Amino acid sequence: MSDNQKIIELIKENCPQFSASLTKDEIAEFLKFTRIQEIQPNEIIADLGIVGDEFYLVLDGKIRMTNDEGGKEMDVGRIEAGGLVGIMSFFDKQPRSIRLRASRKHGVYLLAITRPMYKRLCVEHPYISVNLLELVVMSMDKLIRSSSKDMASLYRQVVGIGYR
């Protein structure tokens, strides 16, 4: 099995929301617009304050999302295989508000999608890019729902027993 075929199988297995309606040939075509990255344990993928020119599809491994509060790095979330990271800064062109790191114990295998390649993909393969954009929307929705749930829980804890 070639490296390309292994990556296609990883995408089919770990990224079902993206790959469910794509053929293997379409996934192979998508790969032409990406760059494979292997990140070592605890290595920074994208840092705070930098405007993102690429976003990442996690093929294998876990990514820690961290923030730097008062000089101390604190975990604020995790993204597992099949998820996207770096999408907010990529699309809104604002500096990153979190740092992305590979998990402490294991490395991460990513597909990086740069701005020029994303634009070409949208023009040359609209069906594939729509599938990718749907994954972006689902990722943002998951983040917002999770944050809303966390904020409601925090509010209940702060307000305490008097909250009903």
In tens digits, the chain (164 residues) has pLDDT values of 678 899 999 999 998 988 989 999 999 999 999 999 999 999 999 999 999 999 999 999 999 999 887 788 888 888 999 999 999 999 999 999 999 999 988 899 999 999 999 999 999 999 999 999 998 888 877 777 776 777 777 777 777 765 55
Domain that holds residue 90: 3-162
Radius of gyration of the chain (CA): 17
User: Are 61 and 103 in contact, with CB atoms under 8 Å apart?
Assistant: yes
User: Are 48 and 100 in contact, with CB atoms under 8 Å apart?
Assistant: no
Burial of 29 (0-12, 13-18, 19+ CB in 10 A): middle
d(CA 130, CA 134): 6
**H helix intervals, 56-125:** 87-92, 115-124
The total number of structural domains that make up the chain: 1
Give, to the nearest 10 degrees, the angle between helix 24-31 and helix 3-14: 110
β 35-39/99-102 pair status: unpaired
pTM: 0.84
Residue 11: enclosing H or E segment and its boundaries?
helix 3-14
Q: Among residues 70, 98, 78, which one has the least CA distance to residue 86?
A: 98
| CATH label of the domain that carries residue 25 | 2.60.120.10
For tokens 């305490």, what's the residue?
A: 160
